[in-house]
Structure 1
Amino acid sequence: MSRASLLLLGLSLSSTALAAPKDPVKFAVTLEQMRGHYDASLLNYRGGDLAMAAKHAKHPANELYAAVRSDLTPALQQKFVADYARINATLAAKKPYAEYLKVMNTFYADVDAALATLGATRSDPKFAAQVIAQILENAEHEYEEGVQGGKVTNLAEYQDAIYYIARAQLWFDKNAKTFPQHQREETSQALKAAAAVVTRKGDVTALEKAVDQAKEELSEISGVRQAPKSSAGTYFANIDRLLAAAKGHYAGGMASDAEEALIEAYLENFEYLESPLAKKDKALETKLEKTLREDLRALLKTKPSAQKFSAAVDAALADLNKARALLGE
């Protein structure tokens, strides 16, 4: 190969490696969700609750990685996978907390390297405001799942809410000086109010009020108005569309795209249906959660025939129709 050809190849590879994520806000928020889960895992590991530490440690590799994988450079993909393996091995071996923290910090450094691929976008106050707003929205959802009537009903979800708010606060602290003074002060107060509600295990409506206040101020910064909260019917429609897309992608030989559609169906849609559905039929909610969160993706990894995968998706859709009827949609 000529020197000129080598140079062109190098430039091509470099441009591919430096390609920006297709959705920078979602990319950053997903990475912060990973950190939130691992922060919670560290807390439990240090306290001796290895089962809860392991529960939190499952989510970054098993669910969230697929949502950012295509936006990571090949080198970062390799690092993330290696980090997950080291974290899980350290956890399984019940190594001292200092060793668990060490492997976790290596992953956090790789997350920072991934965020660095955003370039100038990362320091844009409008971008930061959108990231903070989305992290807070996720925290509100986790809290709703984890606390009822002033009592923790799901410890993992409650801890997720704690650490998501902490991640939002860190993003705010890092970017506050770039925000207009009024919005900076109002957002700061709303963040403090949100953290206080979570600490005292207050009513979810109080958290919603604080988060909505923060999101309103943040929308003034970003210029992106708050979208109205989706209805159950919208979530069901999204899931139908995404599961149909998953079938189409898999039939077309695009298993990775099929997996991304499955993850979006669960993380960005079904999760918001879990609480109301559980109140109507806990067994159905549990079954659908396992199907959408684990079983369909596990089936993908076995490389089934398109017909077998399609049949499994259709079975999930039948259960979703039962859920839709229960929720009056």
Structure 2
Amino acid sequence: MIRRASVALLGLTLTTGALAVPKDPVKFAVTLEQMRGHYDASLLNYRNGDLMMAAKHAKHPANELYAAVQNDLTPALRHKFLADYARIDQTLAAKKPYAEYQKVMNGFYADVDAALATLGATRNDPKFAAQVIAQILENAEQEYEEGVQSGKVTNLAEYQDAIYYVARARGWFDKNAKNFPQHQRDGTATALHDAATVIARKGDIKALEKAIDQAKEELAEISGVQQAPKSSNAAYFANIDRLLNAAKAHYAGGMSDDAEEALIDAYLENFEYLESPLAKKDKALETKLEKTLREDLRALLKSKPSAQTFNAAVDAAVADLKKARALLGE
């Protein structure tokens, strides 16, 4: 999951090429790494013979995350990404040997690198890299909270996401550490090691929060940008209401892409943070809202319904959100 960082990339020189620099370079990079994390997990499960879990991870990049970056990709890269998704799905469905699945996945990873290259010099700026690492780690923390309870894995997919998100953060750190001040470099390295250790032993979420908070503090010293404090449940609900209203207004105005982006933000950057506490109160309602906000409303949008039909579906989701708000005492 991705939380939009309300930050300015201070001191960065943004370069342009065939396409203007993404409007939010940090979110762009983090979303691409989140895609890779899902596919890393899919590869692990494929190799271990768990094709169902491999397929579960594989569906997220194309079905959930692509819409968040497509407008920032060049037309050529959009074509390549969609072709990659299709090849990955076909290889998975055909149950090809692991080597073939890995080969098509490597093709996608190469296209992700090409997408990141459109950031130009920004990609190699230590301030930018520090922000990307911090955001990936924050996402890993949230996935872990949803995947592990009392030392036991309760949601394998979320737990594996946490593992690979931290690995992706470590990859960015390793590539950029030489450009970080030594004190912050050493502190971040220790915190990353501690975070990976907690996840491996399925430790308490508080221990993971401590390690990731330490990493974020060191990274903030490098970037000059403090991560926004975690929002309250009430703030997440308010954000979702605002974004769903925006989606209705955008759709009525003929701006389907803007409506879809509002739906994506409502789920990825807000509702995902409510899933764990809501599931403890009413798992059925949490599951229903997750499907509605993540899949159903976007699928309806793509079918080009009347504004009245779309509004009715959104209003039904809002009614369920009111029930969730009451359950959480907000």
TM above 0.5, yes or no, is yes
Shift of the alpha carbon at 1:311?
0.6
Structure 1 partner of 2:92: 91
Please name the residue that 2:292 is paired with: 291
The structure that is helix-richer by fraction is 1
Q: Displaced runs of 4+ in structure 1, greater than 4 A?
A: none
1:324 maps onto 2:325 in alignment: yes
Farther off after superposition, 106-115 or 293-302? 293-302
Q: Contact 2:144–2:162 (CA<8 Å) still a contact in 1?
A: yes
Q: Note if 1:302 corresponds to 2:303.
A: yes
SS in 2 for 1:243: helix
Question: Which residue is equivalent to 2:246?
Answer: 245
| Per-residue Cα deviation, 1:153-204 (whole angstroms, up to 9, x for no partner) | 0000000000000000000000000000000000000000000000000000
Tell me if the contact between 1:277 and 1:285 (Cα under 8 Å) persists in the aligned partners: yes
Give the C-alpha shift of residue 256 in structure 1.
1.4
Secondary structure in 2 aligned to 1:284? helix
Q: Report which structure shows greater RCO (CA 8 Å, sep ≥6).
A: 2
Distance in 2, matches of 1:179 and 1:88, equals 39
Helix, strand or coil: the match of 1:17?
Answer: coil
State the TM-score, normalized to the length of structure 1: 0.95
Structural RMSD (CA): 0.8
1:6 aligned partner: none
The separation in 2 between residues aligned to 1:248 and 1:110, in whole angstroms, is: 34
SS in 1 for 2:254: coil
Shift of 1:254: 1.3
The question of 1:135 aligning with 2:139 is answered: no
Q: Which residue identity is paired with 2:126?
A: P
| 2:115 counterpart of 1:114 | yes
Task: Answer with 1 or 2: which has the greater Rg.
Answer: 1
Quote the residue 2:102 is aligned against: 101
- The alignment-based identity, stated in percent, is 85
- Work out the CA distance in 2 between the residues paired with 1:297 and 1:229: 27
What pairs with 1:183-262 in structure 2 (closer than 5 Å)?
A: 183-262=184-263
Cα deviation digits, residues 83-139 of structure 1 (max 9, x gap): 000000000000111110010000000000000000010010000000000000000
Partners of 1:250 and 1:306 within 8 A in 2: yes
Q: Distance in 2 between matches of 1:327 and 1:189?
A: 36
- Tell whether the 8 Å contact from 1:39 to 1:163 is kept in structure 2 after alignment: yes
- Which secondary structure does the structure 2 equivalent of 1:253 belong to? coil
Q: What is the number of residues matched between the two proteins?
A: 315
Is the contact between residue 61 and residue 84 of structure 1 (CA under 8 Å) also seen in structure 2? yes
In the TM superposition, residue 16 of structure 1 has moved relative to its aligned partner by: 7.7
For the 8 Å contact 1:17–1:74, the answer to whether it is kept is: no
Distance of 1:110 and 1:268 partners within structure 2: 25
1:160 corresponding residue in structure 2: 161
5+ residue gaps, structure 2, are 1-15
Does the aligned pair in 1 maintain the 2:122–2:128 contact within 8 Å? yes
